[in-house]
Amino acid sequence: MAKQKLLFICSRNRWRSPTAQKIYAKSAVFDARSAGLSPSAVRKLSFADIDWADIIFVMEPEHRRRLMQSFRNDLAGRPVYVLNIPDDFPFMDPELVELIRSGVESFIE
């Protein structure tokens, strides 16, 4: 069975979305990527990322709004879920890891 492809999006792709990508990096059932929406993002979101993804997770409602504004026609029915995780945590912070895991699981299980 093919792995489900999860795309995680935040602003600058420094802490939240890379943490989510790392959490699911060795998963037997998921592939994960991360990207940012800001011009200063470490890895900027592209059409190729959206085209690759089965499910898209954003960290804040503002990210969903910006995603829809820039890529509305490219989403092609892919679900976009808001995890509601503020930019208050460093990379791989245990609380951030738990928020991501519980948020993702509430949508996909």
Residue 86's pLDDT band, with cuts at 50, 70 and 90, is very high
Rounded to an integer, the average pLDDT of 78-100 is 97
Is the pTM higher than 0.85? yes
Q: How far is CA 28 from CA 19, 49, 76, in A?
A: 18, 20, 26
Asked whether 69 and 45 are in contact (CB, 8 A), the reply is no
Lowest mean pLDDT among 9-13, 51-55, 76-80, 86-90: 76-80
- Half-sphere exposure in the Cβ direction for 7 (13 Å, CA): 25
- Asked whether the predicted pLDDT for residue 1 surpasses 80, the reply is no
Residue 27's pLDDT band, with cuts at 50, 70 and 90, is very high
Provide the domain limits for residue 69: 4-108
The Cα 96–Cα 23 span in angstroms is: 11
CATH number at residue 58: 3.40.50.2300
Q: What are the pLDDT digits (tens) for 38-68?
A: 999 999 999 999 999 999 999 999 999 999 9
- Asked whether the predicted pLDDT for residue 71 surpasses 80, the reply is yes
Q: Distance between alpha carbon 33 and the CA centroid of its chain, in Å?
A: 7
Number of domains within the chain: 1
